């Protein structure tokens, strides 16, 4: 398999994370290195997440999206990027993959890491430090969504150490930046697009993810596609019991370009509604991202200048979401 011509998304067995031996972790790190340096996407199995949690978050998502538009708009996304993102209000204007002018054909509910009023980040007024918004009249919704979020955050933390190992680095080179991670759980709903819709109208336009890793649960409808270096769009269909995990831009930079932040998109011409639940596991907002020493060979130089994750993220969210632009204009 090469970067140029992969034709399918590979499978990664995370079993060694939960019954760790030095040999098993070495083998897993080598496999993660192979998959994410050539494809940038993989299906993970034996990940330890209870299927009931996955069923619960999809049921919660369906209940939320069944609410009236008026009810959902009471939770329209706030300055902390939490709440409801309506249809036709998010456009991937910052993508370098295509000249995107049409908004994404999706709506979503966004929740993030919870921060209490006396939390140091809230007290300091850090970007995105604030409370979640929750719908009224949906008993059990908050509990199901939070339980899923917390389980995925624990899995994300387990992956940090083995990713560092795959990058010829010590776990301690990355783990401090995830002591207080930035996390997003997005409950996405894609209405079916008409078969005759224009080619440049997407459920999600071609893009790469902003952060460290994305752990995606998707339904059986399909529509996710991943682009290889030859420019071909490869389907990433539903596999029972598996998550799709991909590299984001910050891990690409940390790895000095070794791990690939692979372009992907969603087109839903199935004639059915599509639901997916991406979970984004990212470092603390104040983290400075620079290539890890283990990823910069003695005879080469770092490919990327250091940047602060929060500064990068703020620019992306401001450019791509109507609600943040409207607040900035006031």
Give the confidence band of 115 by pLDDT, cuts at 50, 70, 90. confident
Burial 17-55 (b: 16+ CB within 10 A, else e): beeeeeeebeebbebbbebbbbbbbbbbeebebeeebbe
> 308 near 126, Cβ under 8 Å?
no
pLDDT at 4: 52
- Domains of the chain (ranges, CATH numbers): 11-329 (2.60.120.330)
Give the confidence band of 189 by pLDDT, cuts at 50, 70, 90. very high
Is 70 exceeded by the pLDDT of residue 25?
Answer: yes
Average pLDDT over residues 83-104: 92
pLDDT at 330: 78
Average pLDDT over residues 190-213: 93
Lowest mean pLDDT among 104-108, 156-160, 194-198: 194-198
- Would you give the distance in Å from CA 241 to the centre of its chain? 18
Q: Helices marked H in 101-189 — which ranges?
A: 120-123, 141-166
Is 80 exceeded by the pLDDT of residue 273?
Answer: yes
Average pLDDT over residues 290-294: 93
Averaged pLDDT score across all residues of the chain: 94
Give the confidence band of 256 by pLDDT, cuts at 50, 70, 90. very high
SS3 content of the chain, % helix, strand, coil (to 5): 30, 20, 50
For residue range 32-51, what is the model confidence (pLDDT) as tens digits? 999 999 999 999 999 999 99
Is 60 exceeded by the pLDDT of residue 208?
Answer: yes
pLDDT at 1: 45
Query: pTM of the predicted model, to two decimals?
Result: 0.96
């Amino acid at each position: 398999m090469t970067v140029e011509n992969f034709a399918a998304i590979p499978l990664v067995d995370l079993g060694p994370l939960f019954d760790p031996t030095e040999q098993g972790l070495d083998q897993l790190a080598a496999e993660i290195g192979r998959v994410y340096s050539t494809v940038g996407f993989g299906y993970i199995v034996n990940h330890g997440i209870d299927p009931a949690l996955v069923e619960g978050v999809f049921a919660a998502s369906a209940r939320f999206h069944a609410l009236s538009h008026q009810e959902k708009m009471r939770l329209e996304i706030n300055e902390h990027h939490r709440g409801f993102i309506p249809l036709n209000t998010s456009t991937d204007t910052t993508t370098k993959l295509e000249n995107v002018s049409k908004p994404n054909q999706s709506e979503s509910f966004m929740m993030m890491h919870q921060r209490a009023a006396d939390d140091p980040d809230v007290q300091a007024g850090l970007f995105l430090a604030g409370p979640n918004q929750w719908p009224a009249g949906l008993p059990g919704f908050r509990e199901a969504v939070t339980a899923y979020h917390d389980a995925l955050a624990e899995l994300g933390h387990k992956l940090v150490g083995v990713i560092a190992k795959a990058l010829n680095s010590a776990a301690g080179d990355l783990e401090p930046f995830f002591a207080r991670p930035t996390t997003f759980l997005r409950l996405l709903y894609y209405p079916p697009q008409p078969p005759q819709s224009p080619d440049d109208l997407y459920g999600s336009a071609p893009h790469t993810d902003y952060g460290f890793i994305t752990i995606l649960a998707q339904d059986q409808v399909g529509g996710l596609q991943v682009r290889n270096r030859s420019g071909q769009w490869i389907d990433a269909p539903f596999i029972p019991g598996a998550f799709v995990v991909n590299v984001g831009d910050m891990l690409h930079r940390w790895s000095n370009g070794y791990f690939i932040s692979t372009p992907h998109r969603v087109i839903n011409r199935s004639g059915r509604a599509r639901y997916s639940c991406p979970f984004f596991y990212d470092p603390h907002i104040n983290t400075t991202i620079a290539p890890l020493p283990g990823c910069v060979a003695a005879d080469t130089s770092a490919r990327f200048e250091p940047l602060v994750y929060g500064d990068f993220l703020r620019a992306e969210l401001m450019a791509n979401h109507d609600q943040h632009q409207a607040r900035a204009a006031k």
